Amino acid sequence: MRITLLQGDITAQRVDAVVNAANSSLLGGGGVDGAIHRRGGPAILEECRKLRASHYGRGLPTGQAVATTAGELPARWVIHTVGPVYSAGEDRSELLASCYRESLRVADELGAASVAFPAVSTGIFGWPMDDAARIAVGTVRATPARVEEARFVLFTADAYAAFERALVTG
Ligand code: APR
């Protein structure tokens, strides 16, 4: 699996699957979640609602991942994953790693060859960027998958630099 970095908007990525930094309600939010629903259109939310009504009555648990259509996005699927909220007092690294592992597992189930990841949990959920980058790159590197390209799409130059460091030092 090739790991690539790109600074830009994840909703513009022409990949098979775009990973959404969702919350457990699956009913939208700000940041990546807001951008994906805004640009992807109502079809995504419609499928999220069906998932809530069928498999995820209490919401998608942290660290898990589930796929829906990508609606109007230039992608085939959105893989929604719920990152952990950062806590200085409790090590939730395994839950953050699980977001990437589970997203790759779902991507393989779909037969996705390319997957775009945001820096999960580093926005509203407050995870320090360098540590999140280390976990993200380390987990994707260590997870066997049929996915051919894992593309980290970073919104800022600082985030991009953090992921570059994680790639080099990993
Ligand atoms: N493309 C790529 N990256 C983006 C984009 C975008 N369009 N918009 C924001 N980001 C970056 C942020 O700068 C941050 O580095 O994605 C990272 C994750 O930030 P959030 O989207 O805030 O996600 P997270 O920290 O995981 O918090 C999830 O926020 O939007 C709500 O509903 C969501 O409750 C959930 C929470």
Q: Where do the domains of the chain lie, and which CATH numbers do they carry?
A: 2-169 (3.40.220.10)
Whether pLDDT at 136 is above 80: yes
Overall average pLDDT of the 97-102 stretch: 99
Q: Which residues contact 139 (CB under 8 A, 6 or more apart)?
A: 97, 100, 101
Q: Tell me the best of 18, 23, 27, 32 to mutate to test the pocket of ligand 1, counting ligand atoms within 8 Å of each CB and taking the most.
A: 32
User: What's the gap in Å between 32 CA and the centre of ligand 1?
Assistant: 4
- Nearest atom, ligand 1, residue 29 CA: 32
User: What's the gap in Å between 120 CA and the centre of ligand 1?
Assistant: 7
42-53 pLDDT tens trace: 999 999 999 999
pTM for the model stands at: 0.99
Helix (H) or strand (E) holding 129: helix 129-142
